[in-house]
Amino acid sequence: MVRQLTHWIDGEHVDGTSGRAADVFNPSTGEVQAQVPLASNTEVEFAIAVAKAAQKGWGATNPQRRGRILLRFVDLINQNMDELATLLSNEHGKTFDDAKGDIQRGLEVVEFAGGGAPHQLKGEFSTEVGKGIDTHSLRQPLGVVAGITPFNFPAMIPLWKAGPALAAGNAFILKPSERDPGVPLRLAELLKEAGLPDGVFQVINGDKEAVDALVNHPDIKAVGFVGSTPIAQSIYTGAAAAGKRAQCFGGAKNHLVIMPDADLDQVTDALLGAAFGSAGERCMAISVAVPVGKDTADRLVAKLKERAAKLTVGPSLNPSSDFGPVVTPMAKARIEDLIQQGVDAGAELVLDGRGVEVPGHENGFYIGATIFDHVGTDMPIYTEEVFGPVLSVVRVEHFDDALAVIDGNQYGNGVSIFTRDGAAGREFATRVEVGMVGINIPIPVPIAYYTFGGWKASGFGDLNQHGPDAFRFYTRTKTVTTRWPEGVSEGASFVMPQGS
């Protein structure tokens, strides 16, 4: 009997009633380890009604008390870190240490949101804006909000969304990826243990049907989405048309520019981790290396080939694995097909990760490190987001050519430059059309108290995730203008008040 997962509604596990379910694999073995229910419209409507009722009390709770519950939740995550990381690694396929990183980067945002809520929610006050008149602003919760999240960070991204939304006084409904829903369900249990009132945080498992039910429901006031670009764009459009707030983050193709003065050993280390870590299934993975000058490119490709050939792909919980399998058999087939398209288009396959064998785990979804050289910007291996352990090398002559390649790409999530020349780094950061930039840092994921968000087809909406932007997204501003009567009537006024 395969384990049956549930939803989490009103503070408890609830079995699915739709009759539809999806397989959850263990990517390291290839086995189906569980089934997750796919919610119907009726199940989603029920969860929203529960959330709406629960939000009233939560929204009226002192922000510091709300924050304390979130800080207790952080403690519980830390206490249960190894168990959570094992669960995550078994469902996603990333290594145990990388799974801990996924959880850690999420809990840092909960820490920021819980500790910072009273400060972030402070309004403004101005006295004597007119004679005897004061003005102040309030930041109030929106009500019930929804988060729809991808498979590749099953702890971090749900926590990035739920932490600030809850701290701001909203009820939050999470629709996690159906490929690895185990960690979100466990996080729901820990939130309850931390003291969160029932109904304030709920998990609805499902696919398009559940997402549509959430996005279209009038009681969902904001939608936060992370996933692939076509779905991000369509959810953004649908939510905006229904008058809801939406921030929808999409796919990526992140470049790393190597200037001729860069230390190529450092660059090689950086590229190996950033391209192949988590089997390339990171929205901030580096999938394109852009060496400037032929000599830089020749030396870099030689070093990369030698080092990447020695990387170990293997079971996610095996400590000797540098990276694990990809998430599903469908993902494996898609990535291998894109590799073939790269070969067919004429790119030079320097290292081929297809057909890799992991003894004892013959049915796992493994692909070894793969490197293409002489990749053209019109080839599918460059234009498509591969989301696998595949690095493309696009050679350019000059710094300006590197910028032109990056600007010509549809995505604008992350980018990096490696150089010892401060002026080149500064000019790059100023001119590049990308939301998150690293200078001698391969994966520039901003820390919790700054914001995270890509440009162009990597992000739809005007506010970023975490940092102060998250509190702006999850609250609405009310502005109150006050005058206390002093007893003498001045008569009606028919002219717009003018501040001074």
- Give the footprint of ligand NAD on this chain (CB under 6 A): 148-153, 175, 177-178, 207-208, 211, 226-228, 231, 249-252, 283, 385, 387, 413, 454, 458
If the CB atoms of residues 67 and 181 are measured against ligand NAD, the closer one turns out to be: 181
Q: Which three-class secondary structure state does DSSP give residue 36?
A: strand
CB of 456 to ligand NAD, least distance (A): 11
- CB burial string 280-289: b at 16+ within 10 A, e below: bbbbbbbbbb
Token reading at 478: 């009310």
Q: How far is the CB of 324 from ligand NAD (least distance, A)?
A: 16
Strand partners, 372: 349, 392
Nearer to ligand NAD, 204 or 259 (CB): 204
Report residue 266 as tokens: 């450092």
DSSP string, 400-422: HHHHHHHHHSSEESEEEEE-S-H
Supply the minimum distance, in Å, between the C-beta of residue 463 and ligand NAD. 13
Give φ, ψ of 412 to 5 degrees. Answer: -155, 50
C-alpha Rg value of the chain to the nearest Å:
25
In whole angstroms, how close is the CB of 331 to ligand NAD at the nearest point? 8
Q: Which is nearer to ligand NAD, 174 or 369 (CB)?
A: 174
Contacts of 130 (CB under 8 A, 6+ apart): 483, 497, 498, 499, 500
C-alpha distances out from residue 203 to 175, 299, 422, Å: 6, 50, 47
Q: Which two tokens stand for residue 103?
A: 């959880």
Judged by beta carbon, residue 419 or residue 458, the one nearer ligand NAD is 458
Based on the residue annotation, tell me whether 283 is a catalytic residue of this protein: yes
CB-neighbour burial class of residue 303 (10 A; exposed 0-12, middle 13-18, buried 19+) = middle
- Which is the catalytic residue, given 283, 347, 393, 405? 283
Tell me the closest approach of the beta carbon of residue 176 to ligand NAD, in angstroms. Answer: 6
Nearer to ligand NAD, 252 or 288 (CB): 252
The residue behind tokens 């694999």 is 25
Cβ nearer to ligand NAD, comparing 130 with 230: 230
Buried b (16+ CB within 10 A) or exposed e, 232-248: beebbebbeeeebbbbb
Least spacing, CB of residue 378 vs ligand NAD, in Å:
21
Closest-by-Cβ residue to ligand NAD is 227
* Residue from 7, 36, 18 nearest 328 by CA: 36
Catalytic residues: 283
